[in-house]
Structure 1
Amino acid sequence: MTEVLKEYSRAQLALRNGQDREEIWIAYQHIIYDVSKSRLWYKGKHYEHWAGQDLTDELPDAPHTDKVFAKFKAVGRLKVKS
């Protein structure tokens, strides 16, 4: 049985940027991941990337593949603009 993920808007994702709340979330290909426990996302910053946003377009410039997301729990889906 697959888990149904709650949908979040871009504004809701932006609130989980590691600055105002404990949650540090990022989105990739419409899936939102909780990266709060990663020391690499300390205070919501990972090199030149900031949490609370969709990083799909930034992955081609990263030194790793999308397999890195398997380390993190999926906590939601990013609402698609309608």
Structure 2
Amino acid sequence: MTEQTFTKEQLATYNGEGKPAYIAVDGVIYDVTNAKGWQKLVHHGNKVGNDVTAGLAKSPHGPRVLAKLPVVGKLVD
């Protein structure tokens, strides 16, 4: 299976409204559609459909929670 790539503009369309909810962290796209903390499409000020790398850096739980999420692709420039 070929890995999907997303531009920031494409990622923005995966905002949980009619499509799955995706976030990017360090260039990796994760599906947070079914993640409990993202049910309101915002988690600690980070919105789905965006690169939340900077916000995650300030998170108390850090990147370890990402291992529980499905990876759907890579963020490209």
Matched residue SS, 2:9: helix
Task: State the distance in 2 between where 1:4 and 1:57 align.
Answer: 28
Matched residue SS, 1:59: helix
Structure 1 runs (4+) deviating above 2 angstroms are: none
Write the letter of the residue equivalent to 2:12. Answer: A
For residue 60 of structure 1, report the CA deviation from its aligned partner.
2.0
Query: RMSD over aligned Cα, in angstroms?
Result: 1.4
Aligned partner of 1:5 in structure 2 is 3
* TM-score for both structures, normalised by structure 1: 0.84
Structure with bigger gyration radius? 1
Task: State the distance in 2 between where 1:10 and 1:43 align.
Answer: 21
For residue 17 of structure 1, report the CA deviation from its aligned partner.
1.2
Write the letter of the residue equivalent to 1:77. Answer: K
Matches for 1:33-52 after TM superposition, within 5 Å? 33-52=30-49
Aligned partner of 1:15 in structure 2 is 13
Aligned partner of 1:25 in structure 2 is 22
Task: State the distance in 1 between where 2:47 and 2:24 align.
Answer: 11
For residue 34 of structure 1, report the CA deviation from its aligned partner.
0.3
Matched residue SS, 1:17: coil
* TM-score for both structures, normalised by structure 2: 0.88
For residue 65 of structure 1, report the CA deviation from its aligned partner.
1.5
Q: Percent identity of the aligned residues?
A: 34
For residue 48 of structure 1, report the CA deviation from its aligned partner.
1.2
